[in-house]
Amino acid sequence: MATINVPEDLAAGLRAKADAEGRTLEELAEETLRASLQETSWEGLLAYGRERGRLAGFTEEQSADVVHNWRKEQRR
């Protein structure tokens, strides 16, 4: 377990939300931090995919068709 310091206005907002949801401040903070880390990881994966597609000469609009066609070929 670690301790972090946050500005008082942020802590007050977290306490109010935790109270409204019937949860502890720790539960809410853990959930929020985990969600943020997962979102950051997902954004990194999306950025990687966009860059790989760009390097391969595909536009973002073409990506769904490219993936669909690749998966179709893999099933054969």
Output Rg (C-alpha) for the chain, integer angstroms.
21
User: Domain range spanning residue 72?
Assistant: 38-76
- Please check whether residue 58 lies inside any domain of the structure: yes
- Please check whether residue 24 lies inside any domain of the structure: no
- Please check whether residue 32 lies inside any domain of the structure: no
- Please check whether residue 57 lies inside any domain of the structure: yes
- Please check whether residue 7 lies inside any domain of the structure: no
Number of folded domains in the chain? 1
- Please check whether residue 12 lies inside any domain of the structure: no
- What digits encode the pLDDT tens for the residues 11-51? 999 999 999 999 999 999 999 999 999 998 888 888 998 89
Average pLDDT value over all residues in the chain: 90
Q: Is the dihedral of CA 49, 54, 56, 62 positive or negative?
A: positive
- Please check whether residue 33 lies inside any domain of the structure: no
- Please check whether residue 47 lies inside any domain of the structure: yes
